[in-house]
Structure 1
Amino acid sequence: MEIAVKNIINYFVKKPARLFLVDSIGAALTAFLLFFVLRQFQDHFGIPTWVLIYLSLIGLIFCLYSLTCFLLLKGNWTPFLMLIALGNLLYCVLTLVCMYTYIEELTKLGGIYFLLEIATVLAIVFVEFRVAAALKNDKKLSSG
């Protein structure tokens, strides 16, 4: 498992733009699921519709940010990776707060969905932080 994680991190250190692409696709999927699926079946998940709309808007903003970074950035990846990693981390905290706030209404299906989403986003956050750190260290080594 550790070797697989190192291989993933090494891959994205060599091709950091692709990490933004992965993040963008994941954020688009989140926005789509929240807005078009969970919102339509809100009673099966237990989170109010307005909360799902706001969470999907955050996902859309993150999607556009990461897609813009993928398309336009040609270097200096670290601060942009750190920003999206922090944003994703805050999104996870916000999602947990929403789950706690609506714990009485939250269904088992809703709990499973949001916990799986948080776990997935946290995995991406871990990779983003590790890649950003590796790129920062590489920059120090090459300039020092």
Structure 2
Amino acid sequence: MNYTNPMLKTLTTKPKTIFLIDGLGAMLTAILLAFVLTNFEVYFGMPVNVLHCLAAVACVFMLYSLACYVLLKSRWRSFLNIIMVANLLYCGLTIALVWYYYSRLTPLGMAYFLLECLVIISLVWLEKRVYQGL
């Protein structure tokens, strides 16, 4: 396959790298949710207990993706499919929570969660390209 995008070319030749990217992204999400947003709840509006639950989910995704990156030698596609679906379900959950807590969320909170979903959906698009590219 001839990709003009160097990142796609690298990921299709080393597909396990997408698990590292996913895992590090999940780690960043967990840190932001558990430590930043919770300490500045007044500026975001999402309840702390909800932020902790979302952070816990992100930690599970992080462990899964990093374990896949380290342990998988072959047959990675089914594992990548699992994290793609999980990421989309996480976005669905986030959107549902934004809708449920809409009256509490600040504009900064809305922006954070919508941007987070946009980044995750972009990651899923990239993961799908890697999945199909080999």
Name the TM-score, length of structure 1 as normaliser: 0.88
Residue 49 of structure 1 aligns to which amino acid in structure 2? V
- Any idea what the Cα deviations from partners look like across 1:11-68, whole Å, max 9, x if unmatched? 2111111110010000000000000000111111011111100000000000000000
Give me the whole-angstrom Cα distance separating, in 2, the residues matched to 1:3 and 1:41. Answer: 42
The residue aligned with 1:101 is: 100
The RMSD of aligned alpha carbons is 1.2
User: 1:78, 1:133 within 8 Å by CA — same for their partners in 2?
Assistant: no
The residue aligned with 1:73 is: 72
The structural deviation recorded for 1:134 is: 2.2
Give me the whole-angstrom Cα distance separating, in 2, the residues matched to 1:41 and 1:61. Answer: 24
**Equivalence map 1:130-141=2 (5 Å):** 130-135=129-134
The structural deviation recorded for 1:9 is: 2.6
The answer to which structure has the higher helix fraction is: 1
Aligned residues: 132
Q: Once the two structures are aligned, what percentage of the paired residues are identical?
A: 43
Give me the whole-angstrom Cα distance separating, in 2, the residues matched to 1:104 and 1:85. Answer: 30
Residue 32 of structure 2 aligns to which amino acid in structure 1? L
Deviates more, 1:124-133 or 1:24-33: 124-133
Residue 37 of structure 1 aligns to which amino acid in structure 2? V
Give me the whole-angstrom Cα distance separating, in 1, the residues matched to 2:115 and 2:17. Answer: 23
The residue aligned with 1:142 is: none
User: 1:28, 1:60 within 8 Å by CA — same for their partners in 2?
Assistant: yes
- Any idea what the Cα deviations from partners look like across 1:48-90, whole Å, max 9, x if unmatched? 1111000000000000000000000011111011100110011
The residue aligned with 2:123 is: 124
Name the TM-score, length of structure 2 as normaliser: 0.94
Unaligned residue ranges in structure 1 (runs of 5+)? 136-144
Give me the whole-angstrom Cα distance separating, in 2, the residues matched to 1:81 and 1:131. Answer: 9
Does the alignment pair 1:36 with 2:69? no
Structure label with greater radius of gyration: 1
Unaligned residue ranges in structure 2 (runs of 5+)? none
Give me the whole-angstrom Cα distance separating, in 2, the residues matched to 1:11 and 1:106. Answer: 39
Give me the whole-angstrom Cα distance separating, in 2, the residues matched to 1:111 and 1:3. Answer: 35
> Would you identify which runs of 4 or more consecutive aligned residues in structure 1 move more than 3 Å?
none
The residue aligned with 2:51 is: 52
